[in-house]
Amino acid sequence: MKPFLGFACLIGLIISGNLSAQSYQEKTTSASNVRLNVTNLGTFGNAFRGYRDGTGNPSAEYPAGSGVEHIFEGGIWIGGKENGGQIVVSTSAYDAPQGYAPGRGGFEFHVDTSITGNARNLQEFSSLFDSRYFAPDAVSHQDYVATFSDKSIVVPGTQIPINDHTRPMDVRVEMETYNWNYNFTDFMVIVNLRFYNEGQNTYDDVYTALWNNTVVRNVNITPAGAGGSAFYNRGGNGFMDSLGLAYCYDAAGDLGFTESYVGQKFLGATDKEGFHHPDLDSNFNPLSGTWEQDDFMLNYNAWVFNDFSADFAFPTTENDRYQKMSQGLNQNPCWDNPSDPACNGRDFQAELNVAGNRSDLISAGPFNSFGPGDLIEVSFAYVFAKKNEDGNPNQDNNLVQRQNLISNAGWAQQAFNGEDQNFNGILDAGEDNDGDGEITRFILPSPPSIPYTRVEPGDGQIEIYWSDNAERSIDPISNREDFEGYRLYLSKLGFDVTGVQDLNRDFSLIAQYDKAGNNLFNETGFGSVKLAEPYYFDDDTTAYHYKYVIDNIPNGWQYATAVTAFDEGNPESNLESLESSFLANNNRAFAGTGPNENMEENQPFVYPNPYYYGAAWEGKSNFQEESRKIIFANLPARCVIRIYTSGGDFIDEIRHDENYDGSDTRWFRTFGAEDAGENRFSGGEHAWDLLSVESQIISRGLYMYSVEDLDSGEQFTGKFVIIK
């Protein structure tokens, strides 16, 4: 299904031109280490529209900034038997070679026109007090909230009919997505869905589902859609019944640059008959006040685009789609017992492990008697994980390789369970921690707040300053201040260009300081890093209480730095010490010369000089010729650099000031911080991409440059050599 993007430009025009009437909106998760595209129409991923020119948003990238993508497009499904008879299914996304477009078949949910005001938008909220999106009832560090429905048979605000959508279920959906910046949860996005029946019909045997076009490739190595179907048919798939987890991985694509899994996990569901999960043999029915047998199940299906063979058939009708939701491959004898005579030697799990182009579907149900005014609430999670390397090829896909995925899926389930400690769906004695009389889900233990941090690069060094705000953090379990200490991290040299960026792997602990006198950790105290008085920068009102200096850093290379805070842990709650996320406050620092006040005494220069194509710090990208760089150093705080051939022909002009952030050069957009403001330079250096003012590649040879100090008028001329 994940197709050749030959219609990409057309789709971009359709989306930008026709969606304004229904206020189409999309956002990308950024609190966690996952960059998942979420829309107010109930779709996930963006069909890789963001990678056509290298400037757009990720679709489902993990780790953030790595270029490793995992989802082409996804969405939610719901279906049932209308008044016990005709099957009706509504989907927010479905197999489409070019992804979403207004009126395209399968994209049947749209903005609910009965909703007015800001509630029609894709809203953002945060539980973080210092966030501009802070809201007291926010669930996570970044909630996205949307309301949409399947009621309309035309795209709202237009005359565009929705293809094959002639029988809506009249369902309104309230969708919330949650993601956190904790180190122990930064690999997941939870999707919580409330389905309201606002029509006149009752639906029996209802199933809800999460469908995804999963594809794991590194778009920095292989551009999205490159080679047509060959880009998409390298994935391996599987399903773990014990976890309710479907997953996909790169079995034969960008091996060595895509060592990760993407999973879709079912967490739990509730309707008027109580809490449902396939692990429960019975559930408490509030309508009858009794425990009842529960036939609730979780089904898994996978199919190949335009393949109509029986077992992995591409579903083309509502009946086909309902069958996929109600009958899973995992319920087939050939799933666990290929030796069954009915299987004719077929092993479904082995077949899914072979590289191919598949969609994944996990569905939960049946829900009985979904009548007018009824509510079904269902929770899923997108779970990402690095492959646990065991030296074997990806296609082995063994339990050792999936160890991190299994662990991460456990955290997603723990987040969902919240106060429901024995996981039975009812509030038992001792579980109501917040005293509100009902089960509160999506509760996680909390490390101390992220320290406010500032990085100041210098010549051959990096200075790190941080505030003491974490020391006043209150643990949500013990309700006491349990701050213990700080940890400082530095990335390895060349982490950004020698492979997939993954700070969980690339960071090294360089220092740790903790309270003295409480018999915990190293008992170092803070004396060697604590400042006698808080330090303030001219452009910053934050009070910085600590300082750490990293010396002997090579100029011009990128380093990532971070300061985290960790707590004491809580043995009474069986919680280990928790640490704030180093991904949430990492800064990219480039050591170098500071602003130059006298070019006569301290002459500007270029490095490396001579420059050889393929310099070690350049790395590999889809924009190779645009991602080269040399550095002009010893520059005044405000100056103009002009570059000429040895014959005097003008090549390019660069305007520099001491707040330079690298945003004018492709290299930093590819390998630097996601937000250019997180790139920190020394003030006296500026990179150039070796392209002319008309973006033409320059040839080898001798080049001249001049530097004009805009404050003093002082001039300097120099030269450098390009060798290919």
- Alpha-carbon torsion 317, 323, 325, 330, what sign? negative
The residues, ordered by sequence, that sit 6+ positions from 261 with a Cβ below 8 Å of its Cβ are: 216, 247, 248, 249, 384, 385, 387, 402, 404, 405
How far is it, in rounded angstroms, from Cα 337 to Cα 348?
Answer: 9
Work out the average pLDDT over 649-676.
89
The helix (run of H) or strand (run of E) holding residue 630 is strand 630-633
Contact 425, 275 (CB under 8 A): yes
Burial 239-253 (b: 16+ CB within 10 A, else e): bbeebbbbbbbbbeb
Q: Are 186 and 585 in contact (CB under 8 A)?
A: no
Secondary structure in 3-state letters for 688-707: ECCECCCCCECCCEEEEEEE
Query: Which helix (H) or strand (E) is 669 found in, with range?
Result: helix 666-671
Distance, CA of 467 to CA of 217 (rounded, Å):
39
DSSP string, 80-111: EEETTSSEEEEES----TT---TT-TT---EE
- Read off the pLDDT of each residue in 696-717 and give the average, rounded to a whole number: 95
Structure tokens at 435: 């005293």
So what's the pLDDT on residue 625? 75
Residues 331-383: pLDDT tens digits?
A: 998 898 888 888 888 899 999 999 999 999 999 999 999 999 999 999 999 99
* Cα separation, 298 vs 314, whole angstroms: 20
Q: Please tell me which residue, 79 or 9, carries the higher pLDDT value.
A: 79
| Burial class (CB within 10 angstroms; exposed 0-12, middle 13-18, buried 19+) of 112 | buried
Q: Which two tokens stand for residue 549?
A: 């200096």
The 10s digit of each residue's pLDDT in 564-608 is 999 998 766 567 888 998 888 888 999 999 999 999 999 999 999
- Map residue 103 onto helix, strand or coil: coil
Mean pLDDT for 184-207 is 96
Cα separation, 188 vs 617, whole angstroms: 32
Q: Which residue has the tokens 């690298």?
A: 662
Q: Residues, the chain, total?
A: 724
Contact 204, 52 (CB under 8 A): no
Contact 574, 481 (CB under 8 A): no
Worst-scoring range by mean pLDDT, 244-258, 436-450, 645-659?
436-450
Burial class of residue 53 in the structure, from the number of CB atoms within 10 Å of its CB (0-12 exposed, 13-18 middle, 19+ buried) = exposed
d(CA 468, CA 454): 13
Which one has a higher pLDDT value, 534 or 426?
534
> What are the pLDDT digits (tens) for 304-322?
877 777 778 889 999 999 9
The one-letter amino acid code at 72 reads F
Residue 54 confidence class, pLDDT cut points 50, 70, 90: low
Structure confidence at residue 13 (pLDDT) = 36
> What share of the chain in percent tops pLDDT 90?
65
Q: CB of 471 within 8 A of CB of 514? A: no
pLDDT at 15: 46
Number of CB atoms found within 10 A of residue 106's CB: 21
Whether 477 and 445 have beta carbons less than 8 Å apart is answered as: yes
The pLDDT of residue 6 is: 35
The residue written with tokens 């080269």 in the block is 628
- What's residue 477's pLDDT? 62
Residue of 173, 139, 169, 168 lying closest to 153 (CA atoms): 168
pLDDT score at 20: 44
Residue burial 263-276, b: 16+ Cβ < 10 Å; e: rest: bbbbbbbbbbbbbb
| Cα(503)–Cα(150) distance, integer angstroms | 41
Task: Supply 429's token pair.
Answer: 């004695």
Q: How far apart are the first and last CA of the chain?
A: 42
Tokens (6 digits) for 334: 């050939």
Which tens digit of pLDDT belongs to each residue from 480-521?
789 999 999 999 888 887 777 777 788 999 999 999 999 899
Residue 17 pLDDT grade (very low, low, confident, very high; cuts 50, 70, 90)? very low
> Domains of the chain (ranges plus CATH)?
8-209+260-293+365-417 (no CATH), 459-590 (2.60.40), 605-723 (2.60.40.4070)
Q: What is the pLDDT of residue 680?
A: 93
Strand ranges (DSSP E) for 544-620?
A: 544-551, 558-567, 587-590, 605-607, 611-612
Instruction: Look up residue 396 and give its amino acid.
Output: D
Q: Is the pLDDT of residue 670 over 90?
A: no
230 bridge partner residues: none
Q: In 3D, which of 336, 253, 275, 249 has the Cα closest to residue 300?
A: 336
Measured over the CA atoms of residue 645, residue 651, residue 653 and residue 658, the dihedral's sign is negative
To which residue do tokens 């990293």 refer? 550
Q: How confident is the model at residue 18 (pLDDT cuts 50, 70, 90)?
A: very low
Q: Which token pair is 434?
A: 């917040």
Mean pLDDT value across the chain: 89
Q: What are 48's two structure tokens?
A: 């890789």
Q: Report how far residue 654's alpha carbon sits from residue 432's, in angstroms, rounded to the nearest whole number.
A: 62
**Of 254-268, 556-570, 669-683, the least confident:** 669-683
227 is written with which tokens? Answer: 């080679």
| pTM summary value | 0.77
**626 within 8 A of 712, measured Cβ to Cβ:** no
pLDDT digits (tens, 9 = 90+) for 138-176: 999 999 999 999 999 999 888 899 999 999 999 999 999
- Give which of 456, 461, 459, 463 is closest to 552, Cα–Cα: 461
Determine the Cα–Cα distance for residues 702 and 700; give it in Å rounded to an integer.
7
CA distance 24 to 104: 15
Phi then psi for 262, rounded to 5 degrees?
-120, 130
Q: 721 by DSSP, 3-state: which?
A: strand
* 3-class DSSP assignment, residue 10: helix
The percentage of residues in the chain with a pLDDT greater than 70, rounded to a whole number, is 94
Residue 589 Cα distances to 463, 558, 586, 681, angstroms: 9, 6, 10, 6
| Alpha-carbon distances, residue 73 vs 167, 408, 668 (angstroms) | 24, 22, 28
The answer for 519, left when phi > 0, alpha when psi is -120 to 50, beta otherwise, is left
